[in-house]
Amino acid sequence: MRYDPTRPDAASAPSPGVCRVKLGKPDPAPMSTVNDTPSSTPQSPSGPAGRLRSLWAVPQVRYPLLVLLYLLIGGSIFNAFLADLRDLFAALERLTASAVHHLVSLFSDRSTLRGNLVTFDGFAVSIIIECVGLLEMLIFSACVLAFPAPWRARLWGVPLGCLAILSFNLLRIVTLLIVGRHWGDYFDFFHVYFWQATLIAMIVSVLYGWIRLFVHR
């Protein structure tokens, strides 16, 4: 085809090999919407007080701190009334010695009792206040009171658990009497190491039993 400039439509016809570009205003770009609504994401606490609150909200941190707090309160009360409770402590020593004597008398007639001194076939032990289980009961009570459980369950757990610890402590003293009488060389090992570790295991076992029976039943 030949280009004829005399044709009426020659001005509007495209020249061979030339692309026509449409001129005009560009299409407006889509505008992004901005959400002015405040974010619902909680802000992390700032400052020492906020960090302490955040740390206190962690159960693994809060529970041992509460146990230490209850131990501090119980120990302070114990020391404050130590002088006034000496007669009570002496009575507890004699009561514990009497209970041990009666337990040994169930299987042997070679047990004698004199005050807080228990003798089994010539081997004697003196029951002092550290032997009656007060410290173990204090630790157990602090663990129960600090546990996140209903207060009714805690008030049941303290006396029942202390009774179980008292019973186990009597068994401990009876065993020490037997060990001291027949295997005297092992008495210190059982008294200082074995039964101390066993008492810790006893506290944990009673605490676990209380949780299963009264908390997670």
Strand pairing class (123-126; 111-114): unpaired
117 SS3 class: strand
Q: What is the pLDDT of residue 18?
A: 47
d(CA 42, CA 154): 34
51 within domain boundaries: no
Q: What is the pLDDT of residue 27?
A: 55
63 within domain boundaries: yes
5 within domain boundaries: no
Cβ(154)–Cβ(145) under 8 Å? yes
166 within domain boundaries: yes
7 within domain boundaries: no
210 within domain boundaries: yes
Q: How many domains does the chain have?
A: 1
21 within domain boundaries: no
Which bin fits 123, alpha (ψ -120 to 50), beta or left (φ > 0)? beta
Domain that holds residue 205: 56-215
Q: What is the pLDDT of residue 28?
A: 55
125 SS3 class: strand
18 within domain boundaries: no
Threshold 0.75, pTM exceeds = no
Q: What is the pLDDT of residue 80?
A: 87
* pLDDT (tens place) for every residue of the chain, 217 residues total: 554 555 555 445 545 544 454 545 555 555 555 455 544 555 555 677 878 888 878 888 899 999 999 999 999 998 888 878 889 999 999 999 999 999 999 998 999 999 999 999 999 999 999 899 999 999 999 999 999 999 999 999 999 999 999 999 999 999 999 999 999 999 999 999 998 899 899 999 999 999 999 888 7
Question: H helices of the chain, where?
Answer: 47-56, 59-80, 86-105, 134-146, 151-182, 187-188, 195-210
